Structure 1
Amino acid sequence: MDFVLISSIGAVFMAIIAMFIRMKAAKKPASAKKIILPPIFMSTGALMFTVPYFRVTPMEILEASTVGLLFSILLIKTSSFEIRESEIFLKRSKAFAFILIGLLVIRIIGKIVLSSTIDYGQLSGMFWILAFSMIVPWRIAMYLNYRKLHQELNGTGNPKTT
């Protein structure tokens, strides 16, 4: 079976799992640990670049990082927190599921188009860079928003008055 097809099917299942995790996470209080750990765990994927098959050129790094940063804006805009029952919860966003599906469709189309001109190993590396470049700014923004609410909740912050 073709690598592009297999990885695309895997991406669909991962997106479905991510949506369920997101819905489940909204029912439990958020914590700094839950926000910070996913990019740290994902960072171990950088070990793939020790294998020459997955190495990418500087231009491919720049392209993948730029696309990832642009995609992160959508995730940042649809992720916010609220205080309920004296705890901080991730707000449910109806747009998040649609954005996740949209990003998945764009990713699959990109993979199909690029797989004809870029080796599969390099393409895998580029998509890892894209994903990492997307999740890191998103999680940093989430952490900063979480920390601000946490300070307000504990009375240590300096909330602005309008």
Structure 2
Amino acid sequence: MESISPVIFMIVIIALVLWRRMRAATKPVKGNGYRLLLPLLFMGFGILGLLNPQLHLTVKEVTLSLLFGLILSVPMIMTTNYEFREDGQIYPKKSKAFIFALVGLIVIRLALRSYLSGLDPAELGMLFYLIAVAYVVPWRIVSFVKYRKLLAQQGSALSQ
């Protein structure tokens, strides 16, 4: 029964992320796009977990987790785009590829979880946290840059 619990939790998380993403595509991005960077602030607190004396992570494990996360950020970056709509506002583009990228990311994570099941739960949790940080940070930064570029285009079009 214990092995089913994380799977159910992951399914709920996937459903919530997909629901949020679909809902966000119907609303314009507001302001200067700084809200796109807020998850980075919230994720920053988790880095303090590296100070946990119970963790015995090697430099190799941390480096591989970060590299793997960077690789996983590529499909997320490629499938996240913004567009002008008729009302002159900027919206996230709807993308089925994003859904497949997100589901693929979760499947990879579940596969890794069973492959690395011999690790201490705290160490495993921190490695997965590092993977998440390594794909969310570049994804959000690039999303912010894409949004700001489109916002600048909108501003220059309005000034002409």
1:78 maps to 79
1:50 maps to 51
Identity %, equivalent residues: 34
Query: Does the alignment pair 1:11 with 2:13?
Result: no
Q: Normalising to structure 1: TM-score of the pair? A: 0.88
Q: C-alpha deviations, 1:9-41, integer Å up to 9, x for none? A: 322211111111111111111141221101211
CA contact (8 A) 2:34 2:144 kept: no
CA contact (8 A) 2:83 2:90 kept: yes
Once structures 1 and 2 are overlaid, which stretch shifts more, 85-94 or 36-45? Answer: 36-45
Q: C-alpha deviations, 1:41-89, integer Å up to 9, x for none? A: 1222222223223452211111110110000000001000001111111
2:104 maps to 102
Residue identity in the other structure for 1:124: G
CA contact (8 A) 1:54 1:124 kept: no
CA contact (8 A) 2:80 2:92 kept: yes
1:82 is paired with a residue whose SS is strand
Residue identity in the other structure for 1:60: E
Q: C-alpha deviations, 1:91-131, integer Å up to 9, x for none? A: 01011111111111110011011012x21111100000000
Residue identity in the other structure for 1:36: L
CA contact (8 A) 1:72 1:134 kept: yes
Alpha-carbon distance in structure 1 between the residues aligned to 2:138 and 2:71: 10
Q: Which runs of 5+ in 2 are unaligned?
A: none
Alpha-carbon distance in structure 1 between the residues aligned to 2:102 and 2:56: 27
Distance 1:55 1:143, change over 3 A: farther
1:136 maps to 137
Alpha-carbon distance in structure 1 between the residues aligned to 2:40 and 2:24: 16
Alpha-carbon distance in structure 1 between the residues aligned to 2:5 and 2:53: 22
Alpha-carbon distance in structure 1 between the residues aligned to 2:90 and 2:61: 39
How many residues get paired?
Answer: 154
